[in-house]
Chains A and B, each alone.
Chain A
Amino acid sequence: MRRTILLTRDPISELWGMPDVAPSTAMGAIVNFHGVVRATEAGEPIVAIEYEAHEPMAVHQFGLLMNRVEQNWPQVESVSVVHRLGRVEAGEVSVWVVVVAPHRAEAFAACQFLIDEMKQTVPIWKRILR
């Protein structure tokens, strides 16, 4: 399984193109997930979120999650994750996950797994800016 793990202080833009996901001819599904900073938090308006990470550990923990993706869904061909650090304005993309697999079921499941588990184990924290 090919993997990309990137923590970046730059805006996530479609102009980057998809990170290392060019699918082989056996692949039939690409799930492309963008997590976006909402303009409200607990009903109150916010302007941005400031993300902080223990960067080496975050990359390592993303790698462990990708090991589990590979074990659970061996058909998955590639998984890419890009997470913003620093100030991310409301409306901007904070996390981007791309999963390439032969069929949609494993692509959706692997993407959901990665996002859910990330929120439990990857050392990234946020501070709300109002």
Chain B
Amino acid sequence: MRVRVLFWSYFRDLAGGDEIMEVLSPGATIAQLLEQLHRRIPRLAALQKSTLIAVGMDYQDKDYVLKDGDEVSLFPPVQGG
């Protein structure tokens, strides 16, 4: 299955772009997506403790089971106001 990964704020600079498509096995979790991404983009791995993760418009935990076509956003702590 394929999921679209969007990078926000300075994560975009670390990832070298706004978004990428990742191919995963059916039933893969966010944790597995991150493992795969971190191998390719080690600079993001260093920030994983402070990384916020959303699927669509809602926050999700690393054990969330992804579906084909999901849009996953990765970003640093928010700073509105």
Is A87 located at the chain interface by the 8 A CB criterion?
no
Check B80 against A118 for contact (C-beta < 8 Å). Answer: yes
Residue of B at shortest CB range from A124? B80
Bound complex: CA A95 to CA B81 (Å): 6
Bits for A59-103, please: 1 = Cβ < 8 Å to B, else 0.
Answer: 011000000000000000000000100000000001100000000
Q: Is the CB of A118 within 8 A of B81?
A: yes
Distance in Å: Cβ of A112 to nearest Cβ of chain B: 12
- A125–B57 touching, CB < 8 Å: no
The verdict on A52 contacting B8 (CB below 8 Å), with A57-B54, A57-B73, A123-B73 known, is yes
B78 lies within 8 A of A124 (CB): yes
Chain B contact patch, size range: 10 to 19
Task: Tell me if A95 and B80 are in contact (CB < 8 A).
Answer: yes
Instruction: Enumerate chain B residues within 8 angstroms of A56, measured Cβ to Cβ.
Output: 57
Is A115's beta carbon under 8 Å from chain B? yes
Q: Which residues on A sit within 8 Å (CB–CB) of B58?
A: 60
Measured CB to CB, the residues of A under 8 A from B are: 35, 51-54, 56-58, 60-61, 83, 94-95, 115, 118-127
Question: Ordered nearest first, which 7 A-B pairs have the shortest CB separation?
Answer: A124-B80, A125-B9, A60-B57, A57-B57, A126-B79, A35-B81, A122-B80
Interface residues of B (CB under 8 A from A): 6, 8-10, 52, 54, 56-59, 73, 75-76, 78-81
- Give 4 A-B pairs besides A56-B57, A118-B81, A125-B79 with Cβ atoms closer than 8 angstroms: A51-B80, A54-B8, A83-B80, A122-B78
